[in-house]
Amino acid sequence: MRAIRVGAALAVGGTLLLATACGGGTTGPKAAGGTASAGSAAGGSGSPGPAASASATPTSAAVVDIEPKDGTQNAAPDALKVAVSSGKLSQVTVTDKSGQAVQGSISADGTSWVPAAGLSVADSYQVKAQATDAKGVSTTATSGFSTLTPSRTSRSQDNVATGSTYGVGMIVSFDFGMPIQNKQAVDNAITFEASDGTQVKGHWMGSNRLDIRPQNFWNPNTQVKIHIRLKNVEVSPGVYGGSDRDESFTISSRAQVSTVDAAAHTMTVQDNGQTVETIPISSGSDEHPTYNGTMVIEAKEGTAHMTSASVPGLKPGEYDLQVPHSMRLTDSGTYVHGNNWSSAGTFGSANVSHGCVGLQDAPGNAGGTDTPAAKFYAASMVGDVVKVVNSKGAQVTPDNGLSGWNMAWGTW
């Protein structure tokens, strides 16, 4: 994602200036009393002298064109442009209905001016542009217009709660709830600032969803700010983004990455590359193997209701359970969770689940408080990484949960 950059220009309070070669183009001041012309004799009758006919204001050869034209209604937010022929712009001032100046810049050759960003929808604007011709004679043009009020807007729901702390694998995911056609415009309207300078990039998972991440896992303790400026962006024909907002989050001080070895029936938990513990687990059976690949905890759901109704064709083996200490890894239903229905000897020796990673837990809907499942749940957060290796299952796809780490950066 690229942060929005504004071209260089001379700017004072929203008014953009270029120095002109000459300062002329207006008539000089009148004599005291305001009745004598430059050609009148002192004490004379005040009738025009011989030079009076030469004092008329000359007409500038510069021609200023402002779009939208004066009186235009329902203008698009990107419609504002100022241009000049046979001259150069010296000053352009644009204000909205509240009197707030619109920032912009005059081109290097002085022949055009554009705003730094799109205008606001449902607003009105006043434009005043001045230009001079080759002889230094100035001219001024004005325009007043209003921008359109969107009849349709899209949502831009994301998975960030401002002020929250996430694990190093956090991927920010935007759901627009409809197909987006102007994807580049949306990309440009969402910018990130990371306290350590980390750069991010977005990848579209189809037409409705945009996921954003850095090349590698986040560094611990990184402060991240997100600037969303979609309100005035036409995301699809006739549809605008509908939201301008800022969000922020922090990356945890620890870097928890857990690796599930399905063949060895273990999960090794590491913090900043150092092994914290190895936990006996039971992953997906041969009939329902766990996905391989890098996944991210996208939600901590406590006790989750799980039923075989979500697994097409699962007969025999139907189930309907309240599953404790559940943490979602994929949208399709892969979890790390407590298992309080299998025997203790199952963990570390057999894979019996329907695709999830199970940790030993105590009886009851809430599970225990001092079990492997309970301890791992308490030590984990959204954004923590869970890798699965040596499973008989397929590779998880990048769009299944926050699994974009499985896509190479060059493709992302």
Tell me the per-residue pLDDT of 327-367, one tens digit each, with 9 for 90 and over: 999 999 999 999 999 999 999 999 999 999 999 999 999 99
Mean pLDDT of 49-56: 54
Q: Is the pLDDT of residue 23 over 50?
A: no
Domains of the chain in sequence order: 8-19+60-149 (2.60.40.3780), 152-251 (2.60.40.3710), 256-406 (2.40.440.10)
pLDDT at 308: 78
**3-class state of residue 358 by DSSP:** strand
Q: Are strands 63-67 and 81-85 parallel, antiparallel or unpaired?
A: antiparallel
Mean pLDDT of 360-388: 98
Half-sphere exposure (Cβ direction) of 35: Cα atoms closer than 13 Å: 8
249, 168 Cβ separation under 8 angstroms: no
When pLDDT is cut at 50, 70 and 90, the band that residue 309 belongs to is confident
Q: Which residues partner with 65 through β-bridges? A: 83
Half-sphere exposure (Cβ direction) of 362: Cα atoms closer than 13 Å: 8
- Rounded distance between C-alpha atoms, residue 211 and residue 57, angstroms: 61
H-helix or E-strand containing 105? Answer: strand 104-106
Q: Is the pLDDT of residue 304 over 60?
A: yes
Mean pLDDT of 154-168: 97
pLDDT at 56: 77
Q: Is the pLDDT of residue 393 over 60?
A: yes
Q: Is the pLDDT of residue 34 over 60?
A: no
pLDDT at 388: 98
Apex 282 CA angle, 281 and 283, nearest 5: 115
What is the average pLDDT value for the chain, to the nearest integer? 88
pTM: 0.80
Least confident of 56-65, 172-181, 289-298, 395-404: 56-65
pLDDT at 311: 64
Q: Is the pLDDT of residue 86 over 60?
A: yes
Q: Is the pLDDT of residue 318 over 80?
A: no
pLDDT at 364: 96
Least confident of 115-119, 224-228, 328-332: 115-119
Least confident of 5-19, 181-195, 228-242: 5-19
When pLDDT is cut at 50, 70 and 90, the band that residue 126 belongs to is very high
pLDDT at 31: 33
The percent of residues above 90 in pLDDT, for the chain, comes to: 82
When pLDDT is cut at 50, 70 and 90, the band that residue 312 belongs to is low
327, 300 Cβ separation under 8 angstroms: yes
